[in-house]
Amino acid sequence: MYIIQSANMRYEPEHKTRTRDRIVRNAARKLRAEGLSGPDVAGIMKASGLTVGGFYKHFRSKDELLAEAIAQAFSDSEKLYSSVQTMPREDRWKELVRLYLSPDHCDHPDIGCPVAALAPEIARAKLSVRKRISGVIKQHKWVEFMPGASAAERERNFFIILSAMAGALSIARVLTEPADQERVLASVRDHLLHSF
C-alpha cells in the first residue's frame, strides 16, 4: 500500500531556523561587500538558494533582515578575532588592532567588520535598524580586551580605538595603491599601539 504525501507537508521547525540563518548569513556577507543599497531581496534569496516568494515566510520586512544581517556581521567579525582569547589579557587589544588594521582585512570587507564597511549607511538607516545596531555595538565583547584600569576607562578606550581603526580602514579602502593603503593602516596601527 502506498501513502500519498500531501504537497502541503510542513518542514520541521529546525529546517525553517536553518533556512533563516542561511539567509541572514548570506545577507550579512552581501551587505558588507555591496553596501545596504547593493543587494536586493531577490539577490539575497538567490544567494541563499531560495526564491523571492519565500522571503516573507522568514522576515516581516527588508529592514528586519537588514538589522539581523548587520548583527550577524558583528558576530562573524567577533569570531574572526577569537584567537586572541588565549593571549594574556594585556596583549589581546594589541592583537585586535594588528588584525583589524591588516591588508587582509582591508581587502575583504565582505567578511570583516561591519562598522568599517557600513557605518555611514547604517547612520542613514531607519531608526529601528540603528537602535538594534547601536545595542550590538554597546555590548561588543571587545570592550573587555581594551586597556584601562576600570570598566568605564575600557569602554572609553574601546570607542576611541574602534573609531580610529574603522576610519583608517575606510580611508585605506578608498585608496587604489596597496602601498598607500598599507601606509594608512600602519600609521594608525602604530599610533594606537604606542598611545595606550
Residue 44 lies in a domain: no
* Per-residue model confidence (pLDDT) at position 161: 96
Cα-Cα-Cα-Cα dihedral sign, residues 91, 71, 21, 28: negative
Whole-structure pTM value: 0.81
Q: For residue 196, give the nearest of 163, 153, 166 by alpha carbon.
A: 153
Residue 1 lies in a domain: no
Residue 43 lies in a domain: no
What is the domain-level CATH number for residue 157?
A: 1.10.357.10
Residue 51 lies in a domain: no
* Per-residue model confidence (pLDDT) at position 11: 63
Domain count, the chain: 1
State whether residue 73 is helix, strand or coil: helix
Note the pLDDT tens digit of each residue in 91-123. 999 999 999 999 999 999 999 999 999 999 989
For residue 103, give every residue at least 6 positions away whose Cβ sits within 8 Å of its Cβ, in sequence order, or none. 178, 181, 182, 185
Q: For residue 157, give the nearest of 79, 92, 70 by alpha carbon.
A: 92
Residue 144 lies in a domain: yes
Residue 173 lies in a domain: yes
174 lies in which domain range? 61-195
Residue 80 lies in a domain: yes
Residue 118 lies in a domain: yes
Decide if pLDDT at 7 tops 60: no
For residue 18, give every residue at least 6 positions away whose Cβ sits within 8 Å of its Cβ, in sequence order, or none. none
Side-chain half-sphere CA neighbours of 40 within 13 A: 3
